[in-house]
Structure 1
């Protein structure tokens, strides 16, 4: 590797991916929490395809040359989640049993739970994003399985909290880098990577 290549500094794609995730999660969670009806879903789908899915895919690909397996896996996976969610709602929603949708959500919860375990070596705010998202998926899955709307609403509210954590982390990474100091704390990593 030449000196020119070894000194190349790649920009941090995490704020982009986190913002795409946060905005889309916030919009969907407002519907899940009952603030808006399903009539608002078309805007969520547009954002899921154009920002939530695409921005996270771009961020995930940008993590690859940075050798960040965790970031690449997280952003590419949740980007794919938003694309699959939009495709499901657009084309398959009335063709899939609710119990199977519950399994879809539950397995995303399982993935998110082990990503949370992986995040325990990272900043505390990132840990909170993955913990809250795990709970969101499990509540929404339980709501699909039981038909209890209170679980779906609870999942919506925890989803709003998830989005708030992700927005905060995105903002902190942008603002802290721009000012070259800690303006918004994110909590020191709990262990060395």
Structure 2
């Protein structure tokens, strides 16, 4: 894969309190995605607040805010990306209650790391695509049934348009095949007689 454009790439955050581990994973991902590192749970949450992060690779045991606590906080904040635990902690029944999307035990090989990230990218792409289709369908139906004059001052309509645009841009960034977007946008929604 060639070098990635950071404005068009999958965005991954590696979170590990051991700098050399976080940096090693980031190095393994260079050229595969846009990758950032955070060396604490607090730093991870600040990064997620400031940027649209698609996938978080999260260490479980960290001083201060643990990976489990970061997961709980991400759930409270309604984080709309995917979380992969990458940790030396062997899983037990306690993981059944944790809201992560995948779990890898260290050490993790370069290809395994890239494979799990690509799997999570695909899942996220389809989640975003579903949300886009829903928002865009609402916009298209209202467009077909109302005049521009009625739509221009409606706050709910403006919010749906903004959401659809944001989701379309994110779906284009995450999808490997954009033809599904083109096919959806080609659906005609006829005006009904008034």
Q: Settle same-fold status: TM greater than 0.5.
A: no
Which is helix-richer, 1 or 2? Answer: 1
TM-score with structure 1 length normalisation? 0.31
Task: Answer 1 or 2: which has greater strand percent.
Answer: 2
Q: Which has the higher contact order (CA 8 A, sep 6+)?
A: 1
Larger radius of gyration between Structure 1 and Structure 2: 2
TM-score (norm 2): 0.31
